[in-house]
Amino acid sequence: MAEEAQSTGRKQSRFHGRVEAGGRICAHPACNEPGEFRAPGARSSSFDGPGDWRWLCLDHVRAFNAGYNFFDGMDADEIVAAQRPFAGWERETRAFAAGGADRPPRWADFTDPLDAIGARFQRKVEPERQDGRPLSGEDRRDMKTLGLAADADRSALRRRYAELVRRYHPDRNGGDRSHEKTLQDVIAAYTRLKAAPAFA
């Protein structure tokens, strides 16, 4: 084992969690030993993120661990609840975002399960521009809002925008404001696209 450690060039440590100090000093007052062990600091972890950490020497991290009490500050009911075998499982968690991956196919749409598994990994390939200019996902969504093809140029963008504004503007529809949301989407999409690299 020692030969293997020497061959990999890594220093073996007798203590789990030790990180070579690299100039850190123990955070305990009046201690000048290297701070090689991480311990929770004054601010504990919360919904806002991880808490603070401090670095202690071996003796002071042992003293910290000996005095650590997970149940400190809890009343009897909270302690019982924390000790239940399934504690925490009843809390509602955030759903996974559907945008991270394509949705799986419906098994009922296939007679052969292998076809369904294969369909899970087939992605629709979006068309690229002939001029090679990049289109982000947001650009593609905006072009879909305007009803433009991937190869549309700046003049086509302006023409389509003018056409849609005329179509949905209340002044051109006798004051009818039922298309106001669509008009706002068109204006927002055009504003983003005219500044996009594909239309520069």
The dihedral through the CA atoms of 104, 108, 113, 115 has a sign that is negative
CA atoms within 13 A of residue 103's CA, in its CB half-sphere? 5
Give the whole-angstrom CA distance, residue 149 versus residue 83: 59
What letter represents residue 90's amino acid? E
Global pTM reads 0.40
Rounded CA separation 178/144 (Å): 21
Domains defined for the chain, CATH in brackets: 2-67 (no CATH), 137-199 (1.10.287)
What is the block-wise mean pLDDT of the chain (200 residues), using blocks of 10 residues? 41 66 84 87 69 86 86 86 71 58 65 70 70 86 91 91 90 84 92 88
